[in-house]
Structure 1
Amino acid sequence: MLTILDKYILKRYLATFSVMILLFIPIGITIDISEKVNKMLENKVPFSAIASYYVDFTIYFANILFPIFLFLSIIWFTSKLANNTEIIAMLSSGISFTRFLRPYIIGATIISIFALLMGLFLVPKASAGFKNFRYMYLIGGGQSEMRENSDVYRQISDNEYIYVSNFNAESKMAFNFSLEKFKGDQLEYKISADRIKWNPKDSTYTMYNYIKRTVGLLEDNLEKVDEKNAKFSFDLEDLTPLVYVAETLSLFDLIKFIDKERERGSANINVYLVVLYKKYSVPVSAFILTIIAVAVSSMKRRGGMGINLAIGILLAFAFIFFDKIFGVLAEESAIPPLIAVWIPNFVFGILAIYLLRNAKR
């Protein structure tokens, strides 16, 4: 049962975290609008698309900056408690530091569950909308966005390969499509089309300016039509850029996708595993960062709240730096993705235990 003290600290914990997000997100939106307003006007982007984009933008970046928001909010209000000697009064009344920490852990549990559910189901959808908008409307000065969504080359079976130059997730259409089928080392046939569009009603593809070249012993057989419908063994996700599709899939779809790519012997399997494991590691970091933040800010310092905030910002960015570095190492090196993703939590977990012991003293 929650006591008055628990409710007091828990209310400050959740309220400060919420206010921190509400303060920083509008700043991020303002900066993003100032950078992209010219492109939006040039491409005559509908207001509904802009509104939808900034909803996705808010969810996408709140998830990315979640550790910083959490860390700074705890340091902020705990430092105020320390400067007002409220913590000293609490501990002097006979409450142990572990008991004082209980409402923080309850708050971390609430936020971690919320972050977990967002990461599993809401963030992938927001990520898809965020990336689709940038690809559709910001290509002019956003060549980097275009490159992220282009040149997809996939092996879909032991002897079949597909290629598209770029993919539009909104219209479910890919461009400069080709499919090559081999028999041993020899090309059996090649299908190419200027565009290929997915038809969800009957699970078929429509190809425009369709050409099929079948390799013969003496001469090749050539088939050309302006438009052709066909069924293929590959899925729509196979036309989507590799990292892009992993970030936009919900938990169960991502697991199915990873299983399928593992069966195909995909060379990018570590990229997908990093995305999967981070869905679980980020919520756990809420507990670790909460303990570190309380341990750092619960002592009354001569420099006041400013010193605590400086230490907090340094540690928060160090955590994100570790998280990014080991994520890249998991994708590009021989380090197992599960270990690489959890190393930042392990390192900062040890730091949390050390700081907590000093704080108790």
Structure 2
Amino acid sequence: MKLIDKYILNEIKIPVIFGVSLFTFIFLIDIIVAMMENIIVKGISIIDVMRILSFYLPPILSQTIPMGMFLGIMLTFSKFTRTSEATAMSAVGMSLRDIVKPIFVAACCVTLFIFFLQESIIPRSVAKLQFLTAKIAYENPVFQLKEKTFIDEVDEYNLYIDRMEGKEKKAKGILIFQKAEDKPFPTVIVGEEAYWKDSAMVLINSKFYNFNDKGKEVLRGEFDEKRIPLAAYFSEIEVKVKDIEAMGIGTLLKEMKDKTPAEKIPYKVEINKKLAVPFSTMMLSLLGVFLSIGHHRSGKGANFALSLIVIFSYITCLNVGMVMATKGIIPAFIGVWIPNVILFLLTLFMYKKKAEVI
């Protein structure tokens, strides 16, 4: 590798890392806000929250790396232009093709890395994320329970908690309806206080009331302690990564074999997305060079704004295409790949335009 190629690659490292970090943080904001609520309100440990965020990173990085490459390269080559390094490269006989050669090689390597993320790292990461969130819910049921909210998703139980108190989040004022298939009226259980143990609620000083088929009370009693299992409720925890997004291309192809044509559409859209997004890295990287090199008056702010316009235009076109493809309005291939075609044409146009002056 030529010395100048090594220099260019070395110069883009920090800006690219900055770009990837910036867009990753933007994508993580929604998750971070939810995690902060869990730390402050529900008592989840910071270590568990950090582990959850780490498992969210691979799916997000597969989308933000192309964007970060684009922004980082734009910042680097705008600096080359301002410091006349781009002019010096041309003066020593380097053509535009020579200048972008190391960028293209780097983009190809990054594209392969994104494929590796999608096929190997992301499926494992999402599986660990689902396991960890389930484990946290079992160990700390307060993770999902809310005050003054009626919960009817716990097998044969309907549950209401008036309030949570203290660091241990003990429940106060508990009302439970225990349903039975052979009885029209549920057993009513009222508890003064409850604590959590092994994904179950343990009621302290509780009373129960049984009713006959006519709704008349026939039996009442008291418990010093009463255990209410909540495993069925806590086994389903929202993870902001769809199951289909966690699959590799090979798994998606296997899963869609026995599906109906309508059921295959989401799989086709996801397969095309997993191909189109990594390949966009090459075009965005080259476009970053062509948009920034030679513009002496453009500063960091202008290039940053331009990069945001290009990136969010690409994301918008991609999302619109995916929605239209998912609804069956257009084929999945066309819906997902049109943004890449637009990128390719724009990159080709800018290359021809810059090649005339460099």
CA 1:100–1:257: 2 relative to 1, 3 Å: same
Correspondence for 1:331 among 326, 349, 353: 326
Q: Which residue of 2 aligns with 1:256?
A: 254
Give the distance between the partners of 1:60 and 1:140, measured in 2 at CA: 28
Q: Which residue of 1 aligns with 2:54?
A: 55
Q: Which residue of 1 aligns with 2:83?
A: 84
Q: Which residue of 2 aligns with 1:45?
A: 44
Give the distance between the partners of 1:292 and 1:40, measured in 2 at CA: 42
Question: 1:291 touches 1:352 (CA, 8 Å); kept in 2?
Answer: yes
Correspondence for 1:348 among 317, 338, 343: 343
Stretches of structure 2 that go unaligned for 5 or more consecutive residues are 138-142, 147-152, 154-237
Q: Which residue of 2 aligns with 1:272?
A: 267
Query: How big is the shift at 1:340?
Result: 1.5
CA deviations over 1:183-238 (Å, ceiling 9, x no partner) = xxxxxxxxxxxxxxxxxxxxxxxxxxxxxxxxxxxxxxxxxxxxxxxxxxxxxxxx
CA deviations over 1:15-54 (Å, ceiling 9, x no partner) = 4322433455467657743443233455443555423211
Q: Which residue of 2 aligns with 1:286?
A: 281
Q: Which residue of 2 aligns with 1:207?
A: none
Give the distance between the partners of 1:42 and 1:15, measured in 2 at CA: 37
Pair 1:108 & 2:100 matched: no
Please say which of residues 25-34 and 316-325 is displaced more in the overlay: 25-34
Q: Which residue of 2 aligns with 1:308?
A: 303
Stretches of structure 1 that go unaligned for 5 or more consecutive residues are 142-149, 151-239
1:196-275 counterparts in 2 under 5 A? Answer: 244-261=242-259, 265=260, 267-275=262-270
TM-score, with structure 2 as normaliser: 0.64
Larger radius of gyration, structure 1 or 2? 2
Share of identical aligned residues, percent? 22
Query: How big is the shift at 1:321?
Result: 1.0
Pair 1:318 & 2:317 matched: no
CA 1:139–1:69: 2 relative to 1, 3 Å: farther
Q: Which residue of 2 aligns with 1:170?
A: none
Query: How big is the shift at 1:311?
Result: 1.6
Give the distance between the partners of 2:23 and 2:338, measured in 1 at CA: 28
Correspondence for 1:298 among 280, 293, 299: 293
Q: CA RMSD in A?
A: 2.9
Query: How big is the shift at 1:341?
Result: 1.3
Q: Which residue of 2 aligns with 1:124?
A: 123
Q: Which amino acid in structure 2 is aligned with residue 85 of structure 1? A: S
CA 1:30–1:325: 2 relative to 1, 3 Å: closer
CA 1:131–1:60: 2 relative to 1, 3 Å: farther
CA deviations over 1:232-267 (Å, ceiling 9, x no partner) = xxxxxxxx99x9331122332222111132xxx162
Give the distance between the partners of 2:133 and 2:321, measured in 1 at CA: 27
Give the distance between the partners of 2:272 and 2:310, measured in 1 at CA: 22
Q: Which amino acid in structure 1 is aligned with residue 94 of structure 2? A: I
Q: Which amino acid in structure 2 is aligned with residue 350 of structure 1? A: L
Give the 3-state SS of the residue equivalent to 2:242 in structure 1.
Answer: helix
Give the distance between the partners of 2:131 and 2:329, measured in 1 at CA: 32
Q: Which residue of 1 aligns with 2:92?
A: 93
Give the 3-state SS of the residue equivalent to 2:330 in structure 1.
Answer: coil
Give the distance between the partners of 2:261 and 2:19, measured in 1 at CA: 41
Please say which of residues 26-35 and 280-289 is displaced more in the overlay: 26-35
CA 1:302–1:359: 2 relative to 1, 3 Å: same
Q: Which amino acid in structure 1 is aligned with residue 322 of structure 2? A: G
